[in-house]
C-alpha cells in the first residue's frame, strides 16, 4: 500500500533539494504536486484541501522559508501533517476497570470482522488475557461456523447462539443477535473471561435495518470499544461508509484491514480525519498473526521513506 503515493512524494521532494531558498512559487508548485498525489491515492477531497492548506501555511512561515535546508523542512512539515491526519498519537485498547472489557466489531460484510475477531483474540491471549468470542452475526450463512473456526485457531472459546452447540450448522442458527450479545457478555462475566469480542453482521452495502441491529447491540452491551473494521481497498467509498457507521452506530476506533493489498491508501488517510476516530489496528493478511497496532508516526514515515 502507498507505493505510488510514496514514490510521487519522494520525487516531489527530490526536485526541491536542488533549490536553495524556496520562493512562494516553488512552494505552490510543490503543494500542487502533493495535492495531485493525494487525490490520485483516493484521499477524500476535503481531507486533501485541509492537508494542503495546512502544509502551505507552514511552508510559507519562517520555519521553512528561512531554514538552511528548506527541502528537509518541507518533508518535516508534510510528515507532521500526515501523522496528524492519521490520528496523531497511537491509541491502544481501553480496558474496563471492572468486569469484562467488551469490544464490539462493526463494518460491512467482507470487511474482515470475523478474521479480526480471531486476530484480536489471539493477540490478547498471547498477552495473558482470557478472551471470549461472541457470534452475534446471525445474518450471513456460515458466519457462526466461521467464527468457530477462527476461535479454534486462536485457541479461545466462542459463545454461539445455541449454548453447547458451537460450530452449529447454519440451518440451526436462529435467534436474536442482541440477546446473543447480551448473553455472551453475561457468560463472560460468570466464566471469568476478562475480554469479550462481539462479532456482528454486516451487509455488502449500507443497510438501515442492519445498522439499527448494530446500534441495538451497542445499546444492550455498552461496549468499552466499538471497532469499525474497514477494507482499505474500497478507496473513495471509505469515507461514506465510515460516516454511515459513525452516524448509525458510532465507534471508538477504526481497524484498517487488507493493508497487505495494493490499495492506494486513500482510506487510511481519510477515515481518521473525517470521523475524528483513531485508527487503532491494521490487518495485513489472512493469517491470524497478520495484525499490528497502528502507529500514525510509523505509517507517515513509511509513506515518506
Which residue lies nearer to ligand GDP by CB, 107 or 235? Answer: 107
Shortest Å, Cβ 113 to ligand GDP: 3
Is 148 a binder of ligand GDP (CB under 6 A)?
no
Is the CB of residue 95 less than 8 Å from the CB of residue 101? Answer: yes
Q: Stretches 90-98, 162-170, 265-273, 282-290: which one binds ligand GDP (CB under 6 A)?
A: 282-290
What does the alpha-carbon distance between residue 2 and residue 302 come to, in Å, rounded to a whole number? 8
What does the alpha-carbon distance between residue 166 and residue 27 come to, in Å, rounded to a whole number? 61
Which residue lies nearer to ligand GDP by CB, 47 or 143? Answer: 143
Shortest Å, Cβ 118 to ligand GDP: 8
Other residues' Cβ atoms within 10 Å of the Cβ of residue 62: 7
Dmax over Cα atoms in the chain, in whole Å? 72
Q: Stretches 49-57, 71-79, 94-102, 281-289: which one binds ligand GDP (CB under 6 A)?
A: 281-289
Whether residue 259 is annotated as binding a ligand: the answer is yes
Is the CB of residue 57 less than 8 Å from the CB of residue 67? Answer: no
Which residue intervals of 3-128 are DSSP H helices?
A: 3-17, 24-40, 45-60, 62-65, 70-85, 113-126
Which residue lies nearer to ligand GDP by CB, 270 or 284? Answer: 284
What does the alpha-carbon distance between residue 195 and residue 188 come to, in Å, rounded to a whole number? 8
Among 168, 237, 243, 285, binds ligand GDP (CB under 6 A): 285
Grid coordinates standing for 275? 470521523
Is 110 a binder of ligand GDP (CB under 6 A)?
yes
Which residue lies nearer to ligand GDP by CB, 77 or 227? Answer: 227
Which positions lie near ligand GDP, rule CB under 6 A?
107, 109-115, 202, 257-258, 260-261, 283-286, 290
Residues within the annotated binding site for GTP?
107-114, 199-203, 257-260
Amino acid at each position: 500500500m502507498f507505493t505510488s503515493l510514496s514514490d510521487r512524494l519522494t520525487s516531489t521532494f527530490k526536485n526541491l533539494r536542488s533549490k536553495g531558498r524556496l520562493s512562494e512559487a516553488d512552494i505552490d508548485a510543490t503543494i500542487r504536486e502533493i495535492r495531485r498525489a493525494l487525490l490520485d491515492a483516493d484521499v477524500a477531497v476535503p481531507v486533501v484541501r485541509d492537508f494542503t492548506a495546512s502544509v502551505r501555511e507552514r511552508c510559507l512561515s519562517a520555519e521553512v522559508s528561512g531554514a538552511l535546508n528548506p527541502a528537509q523542512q518541507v518533508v518535516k512539515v508534510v510528515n507532521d501533517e500526515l501523522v496528524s491526519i492519521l490520528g496523531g498519537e497511537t491509541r491502544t485498547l481501553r480496558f474496563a476497570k471492572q468486569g469484562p472489557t467488551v469490544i464490539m466489531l462493526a463494518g460491512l460484510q467482507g470487511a474482515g470482522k470475523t478474521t479480526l475477531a480471531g486476530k484480536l483474540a489471539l493477540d490478547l491471549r498471547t498477552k495473558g488475557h482470557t478472551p471470549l468470542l461472541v457470534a452475534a452475526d446471525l445474518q450471513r450463512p456460515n458466519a457462526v461456523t466461521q467464527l468457530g473456526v477462527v476461535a479454534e485457531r486462536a485457541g479461545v472459546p466462542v459463545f454461539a447462539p445455541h449454548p453447547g452447540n458451537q460450530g452449529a450448522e447454519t440451518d440451526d442458527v436462529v435467534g436474536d443477535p442482541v440477546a446473543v450479545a447480551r448473553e455472551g457478555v453475561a457468560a463472560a462475566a460468570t466464566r471469568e473471561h476478562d475480554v469479550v469480542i462481539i462479532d456482528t453482521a454486516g451487509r455488502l452495502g449500507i443497510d438501515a435495518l442492519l445498522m439499527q441491529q448494530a446500534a441495538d447491540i451497542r445499546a444492550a452491551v455498552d461496549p468499552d470499544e466499538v471497532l469499525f473494521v474497514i477494507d482499505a481497498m474500497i478507496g473513495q467509498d471509505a469515507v461514506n461508509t465510515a460516516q454511515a457507521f459513525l452516524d448509525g452506530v458510532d465507534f471508538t476506533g477504526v481497524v484498517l484491514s487488507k493493508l497487505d493489498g495494493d490499495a492506494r491508501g486513500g482510506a487510511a488517510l481519510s477515515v481518521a480525519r473525517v470521523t475524528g476516530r483513531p485508527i487503532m489496528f491494521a490487518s495485513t493478511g489472512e493469517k491470524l498473526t497478520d495484525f499490528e497496532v497502528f502507529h500514525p508516526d510509523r505509517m507517515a514515515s513509511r509513506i515518506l521513506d
